[in-house]
Amino acid sequence: MGHATRDVVWTETAATMLDRAIEAVASISELARDDFMFDVFTAADELVKFADDGRLVPELSSWAIREVFVGGFRLQYHLTSERAEILSLCPRR
């Protein structure tokens, strides 16, 4: 059975969080920034086909809120049949 394909959309909040994370990683090095950006955008692109594979967010009781890990961050998204809406990019605890 194939994976459903979905549109991937970043919320304004998630985009702002991404900008802040990029700035923080860039303060370490430009190479770290470039690697981080590649990893984040690759993870977001993979949601097109593999959004169902994300783990349920343990502190929430919703099957529709999932996350994948990108380095030291949690990329959290809301899953519907048509799209994966990226909600946040927050540091792992």
- Where in the chain are the domains? 7-91
The neighbour count for residue 35, using CB atoms within 10 Å, is 13
Confidence of residue 4 (pLDDT cuts 50, 70, 90): confident
Pick the CATH number of 7-91 from 3.10.20.30, 2.40.160.40, 1.10.3470.10, 3.30.2310.20: 3.30.2310.20
Does residue 2 have a pLDDT over 70? no
Read off the pLDDT of residues 49-78 as tens digits, 9 standing for 90 and up: 999 999 999 998 899 999 999 989 999 999
Place of tokens 């380095």: 71
